[in-house]
């Protein structure tokens, strides 16, 4: 099974300015997260951010915030506990107008909401906020793809333990380049050259 850009959403978890300096391989992790956001923008994949207790840990890095449609401020370690799932799977809105003009059995809800059930996710710390968010998304029946080279923790051991647990729970483990080329699928994609420049 390959990633499909038309069915994907991107979630970037807690790349916060007071947290990032303590993260293992932080410069590479942040660069890959920015690259993911730029790829998502190139291929019309919605991107969302989360920030854990921003009053203490600061906002996400400016380049991450700029690539996200919205950023969720949270206190729970899992973004799903604070409404991320509703952003990822919005409910259809009822038809506007006079609701009394038709009998209830003839009233229809708008069904043009595009289902994007695949969540590509990356973030910090891998063994806490990323892990708990991803596990909750799996429980809510999203397909979860964890971008390993854009994730980390303060220690390598915690990061790797998170990857082991996520793989065991059913998440797919991928890299930034894997995401890019699966979203593209072909060298004839209109965004191919721009995406290739981002990867280089």
Domain presence at residue 123: yes
Mean pLDDT of 50-57: 97
> DSSP string of 133-200?
HHHHHHHTT-EEEEEGGG---SSHHHHHHHHHHHHHHTPEEE-HHHHHHHHH-STTSTTHHHHHHHH-
Domain presence at residue 97: no
Domain presence at residue 193: yes
Total structural domains within the chain: 1
Domain presence at residue 108: no
Domain presence at residue 151: yes
Domain presence at residue 103: no
Domain presence at residue 18: yes
Domain harbouring 85, CATH code: 3.40.50.850
Whole-model pTM over 0.85 = yes
Model confidence pLDDT, tens digit, residues 72-87: 999 999 999 999 999 9
Domain residues for the domain of 188 are 5-90+113-199
């Amino acid at each position: 099974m390959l990633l499909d850009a038309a069915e994907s959403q991107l979630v970037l978890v807690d790349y916060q300015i007071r947290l990032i300096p303590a993260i293992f391989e932080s410069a590479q992790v942040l660069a890959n997260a920015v690259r993911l956001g730029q790829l998502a923008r190139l291929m019309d994949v919605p991107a969302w951010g989360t920030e854990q207790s921003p009053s203490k840990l600061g906002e996400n890095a400016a380049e991450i915030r700029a690539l996200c449609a919205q950023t969720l401020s949270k206190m729970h370690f899992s973004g799903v506990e604070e409404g991320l799932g509703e952003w990822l799977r919005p409910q259809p809105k009822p038809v506007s107008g006079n609701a009394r003009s038709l009998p209830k059995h003839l009233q229809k809800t708008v069904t043009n909401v595009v289902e994007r059930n695949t969540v590509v996710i990356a973030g910090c710390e891998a063994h806490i906020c990323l892990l708990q968010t991803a596990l909750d998304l799996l429980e809510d029946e999203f397909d979860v793809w964890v971008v390993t080279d854009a994730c980390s923790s303060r220690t390598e051991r915690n990061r790797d333990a998170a990857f082991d647990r996520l793989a065991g729970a059913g998440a797919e483990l991928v890299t930034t380049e894997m995401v890019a080329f699966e979203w593209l699928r072909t060298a004839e994609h209109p965004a191919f050259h721009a995406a290739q420049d981002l990867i280089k």
